[in-house]
Amino acid sequence: MMIRSVVVGCGSYLPERILTNADLAKMVDTSDEWIVERSGIRQRHIAADNEKTSDLAIKASQAALKNAGLTADDVDLIVLATATPDQTFPATACRVQAELGMTRGFAFDVQAVCSGFIFALATADNFIKAGQAKTALVIGAETFSRILDWTDRTTCVLFADGAGALVLRAEEGKGNTDDRGVLTTHLHSDGRHNDLLYVDGGPSSTQTTGHVRMQGKEVFRHAVVNLADVVKETLAAVDMKPEQIDWLVPHQANKRIIDGTARKLGMGTERVVLTVDHHGNTSAASVPLALAEAVADGRIKRGDVLLLEAMGGGFTWGSALVRW
């Protein structure tokens, strides 16, 4: 017997405003053809001026709690992944906690940029397995549009805004891969690559918020290798074969990276959840947004085995294998 973190609800929120590649072509020297060919992105959602990361997170959380048939009173842990918090401090998770009307338990943010949701999920899973939380809300939420340099065509066409959330509940499992819930998680970082993907500002260095800077080609190269490694490590840890995975739910940075990972696993596109075309790269929100979409349209069903993976600034990368 062992405690498992079983997913009992999921939800998401996307800001109303849609920015198309054609819109971007009016702002910087780019084209729909270039963006689609290099990244697979066609459009993305951008938060309204008065919409903060916490606003997106709260809407996604309310949807997830409703989907779970629970209220904020049932939650004793919030882990929120974001690289675009409302304020330098307190944690955006505490703002979400207050707005949801949750007055007990504890809430905090994790910072692993695009891998943030995987890090948050692994953290919540470990608190649950340690018996320190029973019901956890795990959120990925970003207003990445706020840290983009809208004159830099190498980054501003890629990133976007949104939020997704899962509700996890402690349940007893047998300890094998037939259990529902989080089956295994694997986290990695390598701080030597700071300069390939970073924000050129911060409270301690420049006292400004800063803008995203990325050496795209280099990040791409590392992403392909690191994601292949972590996927292999994940399957080996639970002695499963790629054929036993029902859905690959990858971080949505670039269609070419996703296709490459799927190809290495021998998984056809019919078993891959792809949202990068209409969401863009929403950093920590991308995996839960993809999950929520595939659950809502009936593709992901109870009992399915899902492989979640992501790679981002830090570098950070990781995976989670989940039986839905």
Catalytic residues, by residue number, are 114, 251, 281
Residues contacting 298, CB < 8 A, separation 6+? none
Among 10, 47, 139, 223, binds ligand UT7 (CB under 6 A): 223
Contact mark string toward ligand UT7, 59..98, x via CB under 6 A: ----------------------------------------
Residues contacting 289, CB < 8 A, separation 6+? 12, 14, 140, 162, 163, 164, 252, 275, 279, 282
Q: What 3 state SS string does 274-310 have?
A: CCHHHHCECHHHHHHHHHHHHHHCCCCCCCCEEEEEE
Rule CB under 6 A: say whether 288 interacts with ligand UT7.
no
Rule CB under 6 A: say whether 312 interacts with ligand UT7.
yes
Q: Minimum Å distance from CB 69 to ligand UT7?
A: 33
Task: Report residue 226 as tokens.
Answer: 């690191």
Interior angle at CA 277, CA 273 and CA 282, nearest 5: 80
Rule CB under 6 A: say whether 308 interacts with ligand UT7.
no
How far apart (Å, rounded) are the C-alpha atoms in residues 199 and 222?
A: 19
Rule CB under 6 A: say whether 249 interacts with ligand UT7.
no
Q: Minimum Å distance from CB 231 to ligand UT7?
A: 15
User: Which CB atom, from 58 or from 290, has the smaller least distance to ligand UT7?
Assistant: 290
Task: Report residue 223 as tokens.
Answer: 């992403």
Binding to ligand UT7 (CB under 6 A) within 95-134 occurs at 114
Q: Minimum Å distance from CB 113 to ligand UT7?
A: 7
Q: Minimum Å distance from CB 157 to ligand UT7?
A: 4
| Phi, psi values for residue 51, rounded to 5° | -95, 120
Q: Which stretch binds ligand UT7 (CB under 6 A): 80-88, 124-132, 199-207, 252-260?
A: 252-260
Q: Which of 52, 60, 43, 55 is nearest to 288 (CA)?
A: 60
- CB-count exposure of residue 93 (10 Å: 0-12, 13-18, 19+): buried
Rule CB under 6 A: say whether 154 interacts with ligand UT7.
yes
247 DSSP 8-state letter: E
Rule CB under 6 A: say whether 316 interacts with ligand UT7.
no
DSSP β-bridge partners for residue 203: none
User: Which CB atom, from 108 or from 220, has the smaller least distance to ligand UT7?
Assistant: 220
**What are the residues binding ligand UT7 (CB under 6 A)?**
30, 34, 38-39, 114, 153-154, 157-158, 216-217, 219-220, 223, 253-254, 257, 281, 311-312
